[in-house]
Structure 1
């Protein structure tokens, strides 16, 4: 491939974005992704979304939880159920496009010839630096919108384009909302900061609440304490409201818990709760005949796992509401 000239403008990068090197196996990739692998376009969409959200303070694309989350959201929106995406692949292989420069952790050792997992990527790579001209270009919203359109219209079918545009709006709004929730944890009117179109508001609010809670608890279940991350960045925990949003419209971190799937279900069903002294309570119904609750009964009396920030810890009045109205 010939060397790319210096001092490229937005037109040049739009041209390069429309000609990414991708796997073009029609037997593997459907018409939804224009019969080619969507990894690189999706990762670049994530980068543009993070710029829109204020997620960059310098020219460094980090291998962060945020970019892994956005990548997974896009992937789930357009790819068949059961087909998982792997952020490590495009993050590594985008270096062939020449505007994407991987920064090795060890300059002397460099970067290996092939990286296929996030764990290995994080071991060898600090992140990626964009061409200076590209970084300057995408600091402009107009340029970001143009490059986003190029990616969506080049690499996805007309059927897939609308969901991707919607997901981009959701990603950007959810990021901003979650930052507001974490920065203003005692303000019940944070939801008024949402500025995305009304049709996207529920998804934006849900995504923002989830990001805020999962980050506050560092991906650890408040009740059982497990923290498990897959190699492609997925987490075992989800965000649960203590008092349902339908009751109070309260997305404050203090009205939330990060819970694994089992603890989430048992908490919502009133089989587990939390005392005023922040200890796990177990309902007697866990021990009814034919139940095999396993480790759940052993959680009773154990202190829950808190967020490090005092303002994000569970609200005692919310926990009291749960004990009085949900715990069996």
Structure 2
């Protein structure tokens, strides 16, 4: 083995883990490392910056369920924050933000983590090792043998578990009506702790953001813009018609696909879509004539998904119309969006 690999084997075998007299050593850091290794293996992580993504949180949760046989509480925020005590992990704190911590100097919540931390950075040397099959497998097995040898952790089970959980949530987003979906969230709210529930919403929001562009063929439903790259990136946003903070609704009929500029205009009420799926521009808008002007889309019918039950909900669109229709412009009603 080379010197670099030996160094990280030592780091991985001597992780600084919290201790509880009744529970023993905390398993959180090893689980997070295994989750990161899985995403590097899938090429979801290509650089040495580790962002807080729905995919990473979902990997963490599924590995936890397979690997941990103690009564420790699954909490993604704890290892992501406290891994900073390891020599290969550095946190990038958002500019002007003070990290909210408890009296014991722990991160307060998953919400606090997202609000204060931009990303974590691992050594480039470590990323290189984890990107190469042989060294990655060695480091992976070091973690399993050191921390989870009694749980018979099987990566086939991990991949199957991730797929099953993703499919379950996607099916709810794609096929449930608003009431069914909201009832599922109420059940989860009653069954999970605050951080676990925040993690669940984060994962579901991430799947919503992936699913909406997919069913619109990665095209803006208003402009038709479609930009993709060989790196797997694309430029279309998933937009809630009624914000999730109000609706608790991640189902397809409460979403549309928009380019970033039109997403911003829609959220601010500068444009809307009526119940006949026609774009309307707010009479409050004044603009110069360019290829980017909003007025070019006034009266245009949006592109719709293939299945009728995925069409934007008329009730959600009506909510958006009423929410953003400026009272001072009631006289424009016949020719603006509440027609």
* TM-score (normalizing by structure 1): 0.53
**Match for residue 166 of structure 1 among 145, 156, 171:** 156
C-alpha separation in 2, matches of 1:107 and 1:145: 40
- Show CA shifts across 1:152-206 (max 9, x none): 1001233x0x2343344x1xxxxxxxxxxxxxxxxxxxxxxxxxxxxx5xx5653
Provide Cα deviations, 1:252-295, integer angstroms capped at 9, x if missing partner.
x86xxxxxxxxxxxxxxxxxxxxxxxxxxxxxxxxxxxxxxxxx
- Find out whether 1:19 has 2:14 as its counterpart: yes
Q: CA deviation at 1:88?
A: 0.5
Q: Name structure 2 gaps, 5 residues minimum.
A: 205-213, 216-251, 259-301, 312-339
Equivalent in the alignment of 1:223: 178
Separation in structure 2 between the aligned mates of residue 234 and residue 221 of structure 1, nearest angstrom: 17
Unaligned runs of 5+ in 1: 1-6, 30-35, 171-199, 239-252, 255-302, 320-328
In structure 2, the residue corresponding to 1:138 is in which secondary structure? helix
Cα offsets for 1:111-131 (capped at 9, x unmatched): 854313110011110110001
Match of 2:145 in 1: 153
Taking the TM superposition and a 5 Å limit, the aligned residue runs for 1:106-255 are: 106=95, 109=98, 113-158=105-150, 160=151, 162-168=152-158, 170=159, 203=161, 205-210=163-168, 222-224=177-179, 226=182, 230-232=194-196, 233-235=199-201
Structure-2 residue corresponding to 1:39: 28
Taking the aligned partners of 2:305 and 2:203, their CA distance within structure 1 comes to 17
Distance 1:235 1:109 in 2: 24
Of 292, 305, 308, the residue aligned with 2:257 is 308
SS of 1:58 mapped into structure 2: coil
Q: 2:50 maps to what in 1?
A: 61
Partner of 1:57, secondary structure, is: coil
* Alpha-carbon distance in 1 for matches of 2:111, 2:308: 38
Q: 1:211 to 1:50 in 2, by over 3 A?
A: farther
Are the aligned partners of 2:83 and 2:89 in contact in 1 as well (CA < 8 Å)?
yes
Q: Which has the larger radius of gyration?
A: 2
Task: Say if 1:96 and 1:82 are closer, same or farther in 2 by CA, change over 3 A.
Answer: closer
What is the CA-CA distance between 1:212 and the residue it aligns to?
Answer: 5.2
Change (3 A) 1:313 1:151: farther
Q: Is the 8 A contact 1:222 1:306 kept in 2?
A: no
Is the contact between residue 103 and residue 129 of structure 1 (CA under 8 Å) also seen in structure 2? yes
- Distance, in Å, in 1 between the alignment partners of 2:38 and 2:87 is 21
Partner of 2:77: 88
Alpha carbons of structure 1 residues 308 and 15: separation in structure 2 relative to 1, 3 Å: same
Counterpart secondary structure, 1:231: helix
CA contact (8 A) 2:99 2:112 kept: no
Q: Is the 8 A contact 1:59 1:130 kept in 2?
A: yes
CA shift for structure 1 position 143: 1.6
Distance 1:204 1:69, change over 3 A: closer
TM-score norm. by structure 2 comes to 0.51
Residues 1:234 and 1:10: Cα distance change in structure 2 (over 3 Å) = same
CA distance in 2, matches of 1:51, 1:59: 10
